[in-house]
Amino acid sequence: MEELIKIANIYYKSSSPAMRDAAHKFFKAIDHDNDRKVCLHESLGFMRDEGHAKLSSRHFFKSLDRNRSGTLDFMGVMTLYYIIQSGRPFCYECDDFIPGMCTQHHPLPLPNFQHPHPHPHPMLLFLINPPTTG
């Protein structure tokens, strides 16, 4: 997840003013009590309400909480925003988040992001723009 956090930081810093404004609005929408940090309760509720059920888990939240404070800072939430905006998938087989693209057997993801190697998968890597079919 550290690599993805770095990518999200670069994505945010190089975004247009309109995109940065949208990102700030996203942060404010999650930060219900306006304390400039997002707690687990705020994150889980917002993700469920917005239809992102797979992103509403304690495990996923903890993976974004870099300093283990129990809250997400602005860049933690920006990583979440980047994940949503980039459409990063979850594994079709085990439902784990795929932070990158599986390159163990194939240079490109298979349809439905299936993979031929057995679970647990050692590392799945995902391209920002996966190929589309037909």
**Is pTM, for the whole model, over 0.85?**
no
Q: Percentage of residues in the chain with pLDDT exceeding 90?
A: 38
What pLDDT does residue 133 have? 43
Compute CA distances 102 → 67, 80, 111, 116, 132, whole Å.
28, 21, 12, 10, 16
What pLDDT does residue 6 have? 85
- For every residue of 16-45, which 3-state class applies, written as one string? CHHHHHHHHHHHHHHCCCCCCCEEHHHHHH
Q: Tell me: the pLDDT tens digits for 92-134?
A: 666 677 766 544 444 444 444 454 545 454 444 443 334 444 4
Q: Sketch the domain layout of the chain as residue ranges.
A: 1-101+119-126
Does residue 7 register a pLDDT over 50? yes
What pLDDT does residue 124 have? 43
What pLDDT does residue 10 have? 87
- Give the C-alpha separation, 68 to 15, whole Å: 27
Judge: domain 1-101+119-126, CATH 1.10.238.10. Answer: yes
Count of Cβ atoms closer than 10 Å to residue 79 Cβ: 23
Q: Across residues 69-92, what is the average pLDDT?
A: 85
Does residue 32 register a pLDDT over 70? yes
- Give the C-alpha separation, 54 to 127, whole Å: 19
What pLDDT does residue 101 have? 53
Question: What rounded mean pLDDT belongs to the chain?
Answer: 77
